[in-house]
Amino acid sequence: MLLSSFTALSASLLYLFATLFIWRKIRWVDRLDGTFQRHRILFLVSIATLLHLFSLSQTLWQGHFAFSLSNAISMIALLASLILLYLSLKTACETLGIFVFPMATLTALLPIGFQATVELPVALGSHILISIAAYSMLGIATAQAILYSIQEQRFRKKQLSNLMRALPPLQEMEQLMLKLVVIGFVLLSFALLSGAFFVEDLFAQHLVHKTFFAILSWLVYGWFLIGHYRSGWRGQKAVRYIVWAYALLIISFIGTELILHVLYD
């Protein structure tokens, strides 16, 4: 337990340092060596994610899946950080960490402070891992969409701030956003399909809220992707669909947990 706490705290601090370096890179975009700053950020995040993974594994796996809301939120942040790290190795998109790494800074510590867990079988635990991967991927897509929206609006008005100039070009931002949505949509589809095997009674298991909003989110994502590939939906219209769809997904996951605690505790 002591080792797990130490690694979680170390991961949190490294995420914080990475966030500060990203902010410094944004603020002094014209004065600093961008390549050197990028390598330093990626190095810090690489170590942070390894420590975060080790710490979370100690609380998540105890001979069985030990699930809790704090574990789930921490895992979402971890997977989001890993996905962003992988993408940053191919494209200079580490600036997106200004959204992801502050969340990871806080959530890396959650499993230590809130240790109440529920024992789950491996099959159900695997379904939850797929679901969390979908949340993480679509979360990064949403952050990407918000930044893309701001960048496009500022570009039209010729009011590019340091943050906007530190981001990749608009075309690359849009392409990355769409790739993330497609991958996230596939993962969400698998999560919904696999979840069907564990549903016996939606009302008795208190899954109506979660299922309704998850399916609604899936439909919005699906409708957007059809519209994009058939009618060329893009730009601000695409951003609105992506943000609204993820908002429904958040309600499905966190909102449902809060509702259940209020109504059934």
- Look up tokens 């769409």; give the residue: 178
Lowest mean pLDDT among 53-62, 126-135, 249-258: 249-258
Contact in structure between 244 and 220 (CB atoms under 8 Å): yes
Domain boundaries, the chain: 1-120, 122-265
Return the pLDDT at 71: 81
| Confidence band, pLDDT 50/70/90 cuts, at residue 29 | low
pLDDT of residue 143 exceeding 70: yes
Q: Which helix (H) or strand (E) holds 137?
A: helix 122-157
How far is Cα 153 from Cα 53, in angstroms, rounded to an integer? 37
Contact in structure between 213 and 156 (CB atoms under 8 Å): no
pLDDT, tens digit (0-9, with 9 covering 90-100), for 83-105: 889 888 887 778 888 888 999 99
**Higher per-residue confidence, 195 vs 76:** 76
In terms of Cα–Cα distance, which of 253, 104, 93 is closest to 177?
Answer: 93
Lowest mean pLDDT among 78-82, 127-131, 208-212, 223-227: 208-212
| Confidence band, pLDDT 50/70/90 cuts, at residue 185 | very high
Name the pTM for this structure: 0.75
- Total residue count of the chain as it appears in this document: 265
